[in-house]
Structures are given as structure tokens and as C-alpha cells.
Amino acid sequence: MRVLVTGGAGFIGSQIVTALAARGHEPVVLDSLHPQAHSVQSLPPDTDADADQIRADVRDRPAVARALRGVGAVCHQAAMVGLGTGFGDAPEYVGCNDLGTAVLLAAMAEAGVRDLLLAGSMVVYGEGRYNCPRHGTVRPGPRDRADLDAGRFECACPQCGRPLEPGLVVEEAPADPRNVYAATKLAQEHLAAAWARATGGRAVSLRYHNVYGPGMPRDTPYAGVASLFRSALARGEAPRVFEDGGQRRDFVHVRDVAAANAAVLEALPLRPAGAFTAYNTGSGVPHTIGEMAHRLSEAYGGQEPVVTGEYRLGDVRHITASSQRLMTELGWQPRVAFEEGMAEFARASQRGEAAMAAAPPEG
């Protein structure tokens, strides 16, 4: 199958291209190679050499139309990622993520391409699942600045104020985006669902958890926390862990995410017309950010992490989700264990200096 991978030169996209080619598919890469996300203006060596390569922004309508010729499915990874540096980034996030997706979907409708895999994100859930010993499952509101300033980082029951126990989010949980990036990722899903209904297409969103692995960009405030820690170690500095380091996340290796994309793309033609489905995509094993920092520092042989007590408004305390639906329905299984993956990541090279992960490097 000929598959268009938008953002196919990026961290996740390039791994998907490699996985698709290895399974006998014909990937087509559409990527703007934005200079602030790619240190060299050519496809990086981890992008499969056999893939067709088109340098263009996903918002470039004529280029997208050309890229869709002969394509059977689209794997949409192009996006501006991470929390960014402030609300001033909002117009660029919306332009890259939502306008870019709208342009792509309109072109797919015109070209008659009916299968879409979207790079979603667990950030659409906001805070994760919490249980109160008295009130059962509850949904805490945004954390208060005064509590954060005082070092009270855990969420409390909104009804009785008792400490909450974090649990696993399932796909049926209501969306609750708490920053601009999260809002744009949810909007992408709504656009994909509307496109599927209007065209009889089939759309799946893989809600990625914290993806890490070789080829993550270096020294950018738009990257994930694993990349920030690895960049600090490469500079000879200690990773700076915000809050108390107890934030729970699910760190999933990029090759496992690429394999999930390949499995979904192959199953898309079997799905009913007009359907939109979301799947959580994680390792299934939660770890704290502090634990990840220590494991990475130890494997790198660098300085011990420093727990700073700092925080960012818009960050959530705990978010880990069940990926059982994806495992059960498609037979996908994460293969790279946390310890193995962190040891590899500590030794692997990163992409060169990147001030900004602007669209469309990856989702």
C-alpha cells in the first residue's frame, strides 16, 4: 500500500516510514524540514531511503494534493508539539495543527482517499483518572497556583479534599484539554471524525503517551521531558526535575509507536465507513518523571537529577492510560522495556540543535 506520512522526516514520523517500508508498504514523506526543527535541510539518515520525499508544509494545498496521488492511506504526524513557551504560541499551534489538518482532510476528500491515521495525544484527557476513598472516581479541577507555590502538587478530591489515588484512563473518559497544545490535539480529532462522517472515510487516532527514543530533538522547549533531560546530560548538566518528581507518566518507545501505526494502517480498510476510533498508545507500565530522570542519568553516566520544586501551569500531575483496547483489538504489544529503552536512549544520538518543533516535524 502507498501511504502518505506527513511529518515523515520527524522523530516519530521517520520511524513510521521505516516500519512501513519493512512491511512491504510504499511510504511517501511530506515534510517542511523546518530549519528550527531540522538542523540540516535534507531528510535525516533515519528516514528510509526508499521513500518518496516531498518537501512542503502540510498547509500547502497544491503540494498536499500532489502528495496524495496514488495514495491509499494517510498517516498524519505533522504537528507542532509540546507545551511551548507561553500562550503567545497559540496562533502558531492552531495554524500548524488544526489548519494543517483541515487542509489535509479537504485534499483527501477531493482525492477520494478514505483511510486516515492521526497522531493523537493523551493530553486530551487533562488530568488522569483519580479515585477518592469516599467518593469513588472523581475529576479534580486545575491545580491552584497557591498550592503549587506551597509545594502541594497532588490533586485533592473536589468534594472532600482528601488525597486521591491515580489510576488508568480509558478511551471513554471525557476530554478535558488544559493547555493550547491539548486543545489543538482534541480539535484534530473532531476534524477527523467530521471528515469520516462526511466522506464515509475511516479514521483512527492513536493517543500517544510520552514517546521517547533515538533521534529525539535536542535543546528545544517544545520537546518531551525525556528529550529535555537527555539534552541536559549531553551539555554536562544535571536534569532539572519539576515539582517533586512524583508525576506519573507512561514512557513508550518510538519503535513500539511506529509498530502500532503500521498495525492500524493495515487494519483500516476493514473498519466500517464513517467510523472514528481512538486508541491509547502506551507501554502499559507507569513510571514517575523522577524515576525516569534517575534511570537516564545512571545509564548516561551523568550528573544526578536535581528536584527543583518548580512547576508549569498547564502541566497535569498524573496521566497514565490503559492501552488494552489497542492490544486486544489489533494484537499490538509494546516490546521495548523501560530499562532497556532508557539505556539505549542514553547512548543514542539526538537531532541537532532545534529551537522550535514547528510544523510539520512530528506529532
Q: Please identify which residue in the block is written with the cell numbers 502499559.
A: 284
C-alpha cell at 333: 504489544
What is the C-alpha separation between 309 and 153, in angstroms, rounded? 9
Q: Taking a C-beta distance cutoff of 8 angstroms, is the pair 69, 54 a contact? A: no
Q: Taking a C-beta distance cutoff of 8 angstroms, is the pair 144, 183 a contact? A: no
Residue 288 CB-half CA count within 13 A: 12
Cα–Cα distance list, 140 to 150, 152, 164, 176 (Å)? 18, 14, 9, 11
Q: Is 311 a known active-site residue?
A: no
Tell me the residue ranges of DSSP E strands in 77-222. Answer: 115-121, 129-132, 136-138, 165-169, 202-208, 210-212, 217-218
* Catalytic residue (one of 181, 212, 279, 300): 181
> Which residues are marked as active site?
181
